[in-house]
Amino acid sequence: MKKLIISSLLVVPMAYATASSNTTETSVGEVYVDGAGKTLYTFSKDPVGQSVCTDKCETLWPPLLVNDKASSQFSKSSEFSQVTRKDGSKQWALNGKPLYRWFKDQKEGDIDGAGVKGVWPIARADDVAVKLYNDGSRRYLVDNNNLTLYTFDKDKDNQSVCYGDCEVKWPPAYVDSDLTQKGIDNIKLTGGFGVTKRKDDTYQWTFEGKPLYRWFKDSQAGETTGDGVKNVWHLITQ
């Protein structure tokens, strides 16, 4: 396994904005935080507009409540809404997904909760559709379906050379059309993530200048069977 250190370097400078009062820069990019600077997360098992994290779950993942003095700034942001919890309290949500903190995060910029059990993604404040997955012993990059992402040693800087049979076995991590339609230059990128154009005019996610791919034999969330293939395909771990 080849370890790449995740940094805040922006590989392909496109639309980028300085972190606002409710965001901060972390090792994986700009994320939303509460008023105390604690990183915010969403829960994949929550339906839109509803929290199912109660009892022991909410002890480990304290909800960002509307009456919390550390959350007052969210009332000024249109992308945030409120949902009603089982006990009647109001909780802030981002695009309908309730927001939480992780009890082990101690200071601003901590992201120890990122990808826990594959169901706690960071609430990103950019357009990057890449997440972290935590399998209990390491964290590594995955796509929005929790399929592991890899880099290819033979790729050039910000340029893929994986075509033909290669791209059949190693499908590129394509940028979704809803993002490309608004204009590549308008995609907000932070944390070393970028976008590169392929020969067929599609766009592919990159990290620190390295195009990202999936492995056709990975079928389950968090699988890493492509790591080390021919000693040229690698996980991106933190």
Task: Report, as an integer, the average pLDDT of 180-188.
Answer: 92
Q: Assess whether 13 and 46 both reside in one domain.
A: no
Lookup: tokens for 139? 């964290």
Predicted confidence (pLDDT) at residue 16 exceeds the cutoff of 70: no
Residue 224, domain extent: 1-19+127-238
Q: Assess whether 198 and 155 both reside in one domain.
A: yes
Query: What is the number of other CB atoms lying within 10 angstroms of the CB of residue 2?
Result: 15
Predicted confidence (pLDDT) at residue 7 exceeds the cutoff of 50: no
Q: Assess whether 145 and 88 both reside in one domain.
A: no
pLDDT-derived band at 11, boundaries 50, 70, 90:
very low
Residue tagged 């392929």 (tokens): 198
Q: Assess whether 15 and 131 both reside in one domain.
A: yes
Q: Assess whether 117 and 206 both reside in one domain.
A: no
Predicted confidence (pLDDT) at residue 134 exceeds the cutoff of 70: yes
Predicted confidence (pLDDT) at residue 190 exceeds the cutoff of 90: yes
Residue 12: strand, helix, or coil: coil
pLDDT-derived band at 69, boundaries 50, 70, 90:
confident
Q: Assess whether 132 and 229 both reside in one domain.
A: yes
Task: Report, as an integer, the average pLDDT of 79-95.
Answer: 95
- At position 37, the amino acid (one-letter code) is G
Predicted confidence (pLDDT) at residue 8 exceeds the cutoff of 60: no
75 or 232, which is more confident: 232
Q: Which of 1-10, 118-127, 166-175 has the lowest mean pLDDT?
A: 1-10
pTM for this model (two decimals): 0.87
Task: Report, as an integer, the average pLDDT of 93-107.
Answer: 96
Task: Report, as an integer, the average pLDDT of 83-98.
Answer: 96
Q: Is 62 left (phi over 0), alpha (psi -120 to 50) or beta?
A: beta
Sheet holding 97-98, edge to edge: 80-84, 90-94, 97-98
Domain count for the chain: 2
Q: Assess whether 113 and 65 both reside in one domain.
A: yes
Predicted confidence (pLDDT) at residue 131 exceeds the cutoff of 80: yes
In this predicted structure, what is the pLDDT of residue 72?
Answer: 74
Q: Assess whether 182 and 115 both reside in one domain.
A: no
Contacts of residue 146, Cβ cutoff 8 Å, sequence gap at least 6: 118, 131, 133, 221, 222
Task: Report, as an integer, the average pLDDT of 201-221.
Answer: 97
Q: Assess whether 33 and 71 both reside in one domain.
A: yes
